[in-house]
Structure 1
Amino acid sequence: MASNFPPDPSSVRFAGSWTHRDVHANGIRLHVASAGPDRAEAPLVVLLHGFADFWWSWRHQLTALAELGYHAVAVDLRGYGDSDKPPRGYDGWTLAGDIAGLIRALGHTSATLVGHADGGLVCWATAVLHPRLVRAIAVVSSPHPAALKSSVLRDNAQRRAWLPDFLRAQLPRYPEHRLTRDSGAGVADLLAGRSSDSWSATAEFADSADRMRSAIRIPGAAHCGLEYQRWAFRSQWRADGRRFIAVMRKPVDIPVVSMRGEFDRYILPATVHRGPQLSPHRRIVTIRDAAHFAHQENPDAVTAEIAKLLSGAGRPRPDRPA
């Protein structure tokens, strides 16, 4: 059970077969956990977590990709974990700049990006805004931003699944309280509600929930995480938001693997398949025995798809489901 006292940000630096580092990029300090050969010739893979989460979400892929010879780096995104929590910069432009700066600061000229949910949206944005730095992307439960917007506007089922939580995030103070109440019980509820029944009954689920509960209670983390969704909403009526979504409609002309857990009730199949022209080289994969957190629920299957993308095996036909 989490302590009643707010955790120190450094509490997320769990020991393991990785190294914790602070990297300065785009004007802020990002905490990363890195594994594998740390040299320029080792291909870089950057792992980006989703909403209310932190780098630990990618623990399985971090070690597995390192064993395959990749330089794998799991990031606490701006505002999360032990990364800086500035009052601004939770827009798509700046978040993409964070990852572009991180790639350069790590001494690389390009990387493959892997992201879950909000982290996947950062992958899409970085691939469009900084195309020379991104070799390929793999996303989990993270449709293209323009496709997601179209689905929410036109698909009643996706709107019912996604919009209520998104709109609640726009309220002042209440969403922060909802996430952090009872030592972070709100995050545990979110994890349980979006996970498969089989995984939510495991000891690993309980451990992940406890770690997420602690991480979201780091001062500023809940507010900063919600700012991602608040910008996405507010920007719809501002010039920067309209310009962002217009720019994002430029096709992502690199290999993409888009994964979705077969039991995901939050991101629906039709939404993942929408907009094939936005990523003409994408491959759509259903991850069995998993829901919204497929990279944790069935990590071996997700890692195998990332490895396939990295190796260039089976270059996909446009929008052909696996």
Structure 2
Amino acid sequence: MTAPNPSEIYVDGPWRHRAVTANGSRFHVAELGEGPLVLFVHGFPEFWWAWRHQLVAVAEAGYRAVAMDLRGYGASDKPPRGYDALTLAADVTGLVRALGEASAVLVGHGEGAYVAWTAATRSPKIVRGLVAVSMPHPRRLRTALARDPAQLSLSGYVLGFQLPWVPERHLIRHGGALVE
């Protein structure tokens, strides 16, 4: 796996970039502002940049706004294992502590919201509040997947990403047209 181009990750702006170690891995964060911590957790296939507008608005509202790159994304570590919801949730709560805070409001999108829900369930003293964008509560999602064939069909693309080589083959079909 090649490392990401730093100029595509460390984009200049009013925020500052740094690496923070938590849960045995190194995480890239972009942060702005002072006050209570609001931690933004991106979805798939995003990275911290997805939250650039919210970082500014939330910091201007009097909060410490931090957007992270989850493990495997952006400039964060890319270990061979640890991509399950429990480990990712431990990464998030570990990052809250590594940032020197006792608690945070988590804002997650898609997969990031699933991770945030998991973190809130596992560590309610650390997760002061939760905003989940484009992701229902995991129990509700499981029920819908089990009972509603239409929802299972709509969510089927997620399973495709878990099959060996299928995503890669899909991306390079037709001369790599999807990549361009």
Cα distance between partner residues in 2 of 1:30 and 1:114: 17
What letter matches 2:170 in structure 1?
A: R
Distance 2:178 2:46 in 1: 13
Provide the aligned C-alpha RMSD in A.
1.9
C-alpha separation in 2, matches of 1:141 and 1:76: 18
Q: 1:147 Cα shift?
A: 1.1
| CA distance, structure 1, for counterparts of residue 11 and residue 170 of structure 2 | 26
Distance 1:183 1:13 in 2: 27
Q: Distance in 2 between matches of 1:36 and 1:179?
A: 39
The structure in which a higher percent of residues are helix is: 1
1:178 correspondence with 2:170: yes
Provide the residue aligned with 1:133 in structure 2.
126
- Percent identical residues: 51
Alignment coverage as a number of residue pairs? 177
Partner of 1:13: 10
* Native 8 Å contact 1:115 1:139 kept in 2: yes
Instruction: From the two aligned structures, give the one with the greater strand fraction.
Output: 2
Instruction: Tell me whether 1:117 sits opposite 2:110 in the alignment.
Output: yes
Aligned counterpart, 2:20: 23
Aligned to 2:88: 95
Q: What CA distance in whole angstroms lies between the structure 2 residues aligned with 1:78 and 1:149?
A: 24
Look up the SS of the partner of 2:96 in the other structure.
helix
List alignment gaps of at least 5 residues for structure 1. 1-5, 187-212, 214-322
Corresponding residue for residue 68 of structure 1: 61
Q: In the alignment, which of 49, 52, 56 is matched to residue 56 of structure 1?
A: 49
User: Conserved in 1, the CA contact under 8 Å of 2:19 and 2:26?
Assistant: yes
Shift of 1:7: 6.2
Q: Which residue pairs with 1:168 in the alignment?
A: 160
Closer, same or farther in 2 for the Cα pair 1:87/1:137, shift >3 Å? same
Whether the 8 Å CA contact 1:9–1:81 is kept in 2: the answer is no
Question: Matches of 1:96 and 1:9 in 2, distance apart?
Answer: 27
Residue equivalent to 1:159: 152
Larger Rg: 1
Residue ranges of structure 2 left out of the alignment (5+ in a row):
none
Matches within 5 A, 1:254-273: none
